[in-house]
Each structure stands twice: as structure tokens, then as C-alpha cells.
Amino acid sequence: MTPPSPVDEQVVDPHVSPSSRERSRFPRGLHSVVARLRLGMNRRSSLVVPPLALLSALIVGAVIVMLAGVGLGETLSAYRAMLDGSVGSVRAISETLTAATPLILAGLSVALAFRAGLFNIGGEGQMLIGGMFGVLIGFSLTGLPIFIHLPLAILAGCIGGALWGLIPGLLKARTGAHEVIVTIMLNFIALRLVDYGLKTSLFQREGRSDPISKNIEATAELPQLLGWLDSSLRVHLGLVVGLVAAGLIHWLLFRSTMGFEFRAVGANSTAARYAGMSISRAYILVMMLSGALAGLAGTGQVLGVLDRASPGFSAGIGFDGIAVALLGKSNPWGVVAAALLFGGLRAGGQEMQVSTGVGIDLIAVIQALIIIFVAAPAVIRALYRLKTTAEATRISRGWNS
């Protein structure tokens, strides 16, 4: 047997026995070149995964459509309609952006929590509560100018979501209650609360017996961005809010002291605690911020699209946020890209359903498949015979004697 090549030993395996590593004295320059090369390779291969995941999900989706008795030609034309409906026209693009807007915010909400090591499944509930706060301010205040009323309503939405996010944050920080369980439960509680609230005189529209809220004032509406072109183009200012939020979250995570803390807590909470960070504070802050983002998503829907609240108006967007965050690798700009993709799927799905009769629920299936492929990159690698070094680093975990 020949001894291992020193370059391999130095770079590929991070858990190499220290003694053998130290003794091979190789020029530092070489380490650096190889190490950079390896980093680059990993990055590239992880960039390849999302598009392949999308492709695979579309293929599997098509198979499902055909299994449901739709012919190949029709299936292809359904996909064609989906493409048309998402980017085929100004209207389609407007619809895509409209659908992407809450997804950006919900995705950022999940991504921020992910970065701090928390899995916020509570986007639905936080959207609902935030949206209810926003709608309340939206219809109850009258006579305010838009530049006061709208920000107030948006702020209220943030506060509502933050409060709903605060509960799991506090419980996690103070009692260790797992945020996944708590947020799942809070989703259902929020759903029932909204059902109840919409039947109270505070929210319910006069003269209605079904649970539906009053309409918001025009001064609380998020203005349409392309209204000057065609008043039926629905894309609204919420998109800008979402993009600004992405920029802010990116700054927060990677440029700010607080973000450093969040990421440290997420990556290794014990080390963070020993380094003097307050884990409780981080959990509480992150869940509030995460809740506020989801609340913003809900508020954007009621102020920009729906103009009122109805039971379950979050419509699964909070859950889609999980998929968006996963696909976007919890990077704020990645989240924006993923949200645009999912927004396109949603808008395209509408078109597909209307023009070809293939149900829009297919979109949920495709999204679920995308998450599977993204979360299990090994599946993609196996399917496409990609070679990467990413797995190699993991195999040797704890191998040191």
C-alpha cells in the first residue's frame, strides 16, 4: 500500500487524525489552492441541484397527470399552458409576481428561523393573525391619508404575526417546548380564532351571516404597481415590500451583529451560550421576527389582493413558505428566486386549470416533489449521476479514534 497523497489527506477529509496531518509539512499555498477548489466544487454542485429538482418534479408530475387518464399530448399542452400562464404575457407575469409576493415573505419567515436553528411551521397561523390585525386597522380607521393608514395597517400586521410567533419563541426559550409541535398547534388555534373572530361584530360585515370581514378602506390598500397600464393587473406594492424585506434580512443575517448571533445559535447553540450569547433572547427575537414576516405576508394578501378576511385566507401559503425556504437554501435572495418560481407555478397552474382542465392541485404535488429532491440531494445525484465531493466529508464524521 502506498501512503495517502498528502493533498488528499490535508484537504478532503476534515477529521483526519491530527498527528498524521501535522507531520506532513506541505507548503501552505497548496492547501489554500486545493481548499478553494473544493469549496468551489461544492458550491457548484449544490447550485445544480435546484434546477434538476424542478425538472424531476415536473417529470414525475407529468407521469401522475397521465396516470390520472390524461393523454401525453394534453399533458404537454397543460405544461405549455402553465408556462404561458406564468410568463407568457404581461398579465401572466403580473399574476406570477402577485402569487410570489406572499411567498417571498413567508419563505423569508421560514428561512430566518432556519438560520437560527428553529423550524417555524407556524407560518399559516402567523399569517392569519397578522392578516386579521392588518384588516382590522384597514377597515376600522377612516379618513386617514394613505401614507399614514397603509403603513399603520402593515405595521399592525407585523405586530400580529410577531405576537403569534412570540408564543412558540417564549415557550422554546423558557421551557424548551419544541417549536414544531407548538407552531403546528398554533396554526389550528389561529384557524379557529379567525373562524370565531369573523363571526363577531368587530369583524363581521353588516348584514352577513357567513364569516366574512368588512372591506378595508381604500386608503389601506396596497396600490397596484401596474394599474396605470391596465387596472386588472393585480401585482401590488407588497412585492416591493417583499424585496425590501429580503434585502433587510440578508443584511441582518450576514452583516449585522444580531444576525451573527442568530446564525451562531442556529449552528451550535451550546457554543453560542458559552461565547456569551443569550439563546433565549435569540429564540424569542427570531420567532418574533419570523412571525412578523409571516404576518406581513398575511397582511399583504388582505391589503393587496383580497381586501377583506375570510376563513383560512392564508390558503396554505405559510406551508409553501417552507418549500420556498428549502429551495432557496435559506438564503434571502435564494428565497426570492424560489418564491418567483413557485409564484409562477401557482399562476401557471390557474391558467392550466382554466384552459386545459388539469387541476391546479397538481402544483402542490410538484412543490412537494421539489422539496423532496432538494432536501435529499442524494436522490438527484443518483438520478443524474452527478459526481460531487459533498458526501465525502460526511462519511468520515467522528471517525477519529
x-or-dash string of contact with another protein, 282-321, rule CB under 8 A: -------------------------------------x--
Rounded to whole angstroms, the Cα distance separating 235 from 253 reads: 28
Could you say which of 48, 77, 119, 140 contacts another protein (CB under 8 A)?
Answer: 119
Any contact of residue 256 with another protein (CB under 8 A)? Answer: yes
Burial class (CB in 10 A: 0-12, 13-18, 19+), 60: middle
Q: Which is nearer to another protein, 193 or 243 (CB)?
A: 193
Any contact of residue 14 with another protein (CB under 8 A)? Answer: yes
- Helix, strand, or coil (residue 292): helix
User: Amino acid identity, residue 314?
Assistant: S
Any contact of residue 274 with another protein (CB under 8 A)? Answer: yes
Query: C-beta of 357: minimal distance to another protein in Å?
Result: 8
224 strand-pairing partners: 236
Any contact of residue 399 with another protein (CB under 8 A)? Answer: yes
Q: Which is nearer to another protein, 184 or 240 (CB)?
A: 184
Q: Which is nearer to another protein, 93 or 325 (CB)?
A: 325
204 strand-pairing partners: 213
Rounded to whole angstroms, the Cα distance separating 124 from 121 reads: 8
In sequence order, which residues have a C-beta less than 8 Å from that of residue 45 and are 6 or more positions away? Answer: 381, 386, 388, 389, 390
x-or-dash string of contact with another protein, 139-158, rule CB under 8 A: --------------------
Which residues, numbered 166-205, are part of the site for another protein (CB under 8 A)?
Answer: 171, 175-178, 180-182, 184-186, 188-189, 192-193, 195-196, 199
Contact in structure between 401 and 18 (CB atoms under 8 Å): no
Q: Which is nearer to another protein, 224 or 314 (CB)?
A: 314
User: Amino acid identity, residue 125?
Assistant: G
Which residues, numbered 27-86, are part of the site for another protein (CB under 8 A)?
Answer: 28, 31-32, 35, 39, 64-65, 68-70
236 strand-pairing partners: 224
